[in-house]
Amino acid sequence: MKCPVCAEQDTRVIDSRTIKDGFEIRRRRSCDACSHRFTTYERSEGAFPMVVKKDGRREQWDTDKLLLGVSKACDKRPISVKQIKQLVDDVGKDIGSLTLEEIPAEEIGEYVMKRLRELDEVAYVRFASVYRSFKDIDEFMEELSSLVKKRGS
């Protein structure tokens, strides 16, 4: 692992800990050249299926991309970073437990929307508006009406 300060290859692991219920390893490292200390995270790629996009392309599962999308939906809402990360971790665990080779991006979006609906309705609507690509205000209003009906039940 290269040092982020001096780009030296010789770094050593000082401490390793499993995190996120054993799905990730956090390593503290030290550079032998400049003594800078830094943290790296390691997770298995085999645990997640390939993501099939709407246009048929396939991409590796990217937790950071999912985190960015959820964070944008939660912008300026009373939702902590910890809650957002927990939501993304929970979606990742749900997807990883399916033991599929591939999963459509739309299905991942449904998992996210289910959890966002429980966390914050405004963030849910924001995410749904991008994810579902509403064609006009009528489709958007339909989704809002559905949300209001579910809240009233």
Which is more confident, 129 or 39? 39
Distance separating alpha carbons of residues 1 and 40, to the nearest angstrom: 9
CB within 8 Å of 140: residues ≥ 6 apart: 129, 134
At residue 66, the pLDDT reads 95
At residue 46, the pLDDT reads 57
Q: Which two tokens stand for residue 59?
A: 């991409």
Confidence class of residue 133 from pLDDT cuts 50, 70 and 90?
Answer: confident
Domains in the chain: boundaries? 11-43, 50-152
Give the residues across from 16 on adjacent strands.
Answer: 27
Q: What is the pTM of this model?
A: 0.68
At residue 140, the pLDDT reads 80
Residue 53 has pLDDT above 70, yes or no: yes
